[in-house]
Amino acid sequence: MAKELAGQVALVTGAARGIGAAVAQEFAAQGAAVLLADYDLAGAEQAALAIESTGGRALAYEMDVRRPEQWRCAVEAAVERWGGLNLLVNNAGFDRPGGVQKVSLDHWRQVLEVHLTACLVGMQSVTPAMQEAGGGRIVNLSSVYAKIGGHGEAAYSAAKAGIVGLTKSAARELARYNILVNAVLPGLTDTPAIRQMMSDKIRDRIIAETPLRRLGEPREIAAVIVFLCGPGASFVTGAAWEVSGGWNM
């Protein structure tokens, strides 16, 4: 059976663990070569080795998504290694909880810079290579909080909502180059960050509000991202896909 992403080259940020690592694994399983970019180089190397151990093509790359020059170097590394760049998944992120009345401006700026500004810089950095390749796919990771807001999550919710708007603008502007841009909005997902940072009380409350009554798995988010990057989504752009177990119904 032909692999859906054979011959494609992908760049995935925040790829050392969680959703990013799952996306990189699924891309490689579908035939793509994957550059796994992460601030945590050791974690990215471990994830890349796991891909290579099953016959996939992967390269770990240390990158701070806040630095435009590091984006340029990552794109150059992918093009030099595999001859082009076709796919981008803007997944890197982190959180600094705080409500509207209490979040510090420093934390606000940090969260928006890593999520929203880096998403813009990433798209600016990859589009020349995608134009050269005759088109491409970009998937930006947002969150259900973009639509419903999160109690005590002012900066995170604002950044994720901004990503949806930015995705739609990019989709309109880049369609003429055959670059399709979509957003994926996960619900609560069983990642290392959630296990480490979220209290059992909050996790259980969200699960109770989710019709499927469970956390999502990273591979379930990755499956939707792979679809959006594959041939079955050739007429899909500017969309915001919720993958949340029905949390926002």
Q: Which residues are catalytic?
A: 156
Going from the C-alpha of 140 to that of each of 197, 204, 219, 227, the distances in angstroms are 23, 27, 16, 14
Q: Which of 29, 26, 30 is nearest to 12 (CA)?
A: 26
Q: Which of 13, 16, 59, 64 is nearest to 34 (CA)?
A: 59
Structure tokens at 32: 């793509």
Q: Where are the beta strands (DSSP E) in 52-116?
A: 57-62, 87-90
The CA distance from 92 to 94, in Å, is: 7
The CA distance from 209 to 141, in Å, is: 22
**Is there a contact between 89 and 136 (Cβ–Cβ < 8 Å)?**
no
Torsion over CA of 205, 209, 210 and 215, rounded to 10 degrees? -10
Q: Where are the beta strands (DSSP E) in 43-201?
A: 57-62, 87-90, 136-141, 179-186
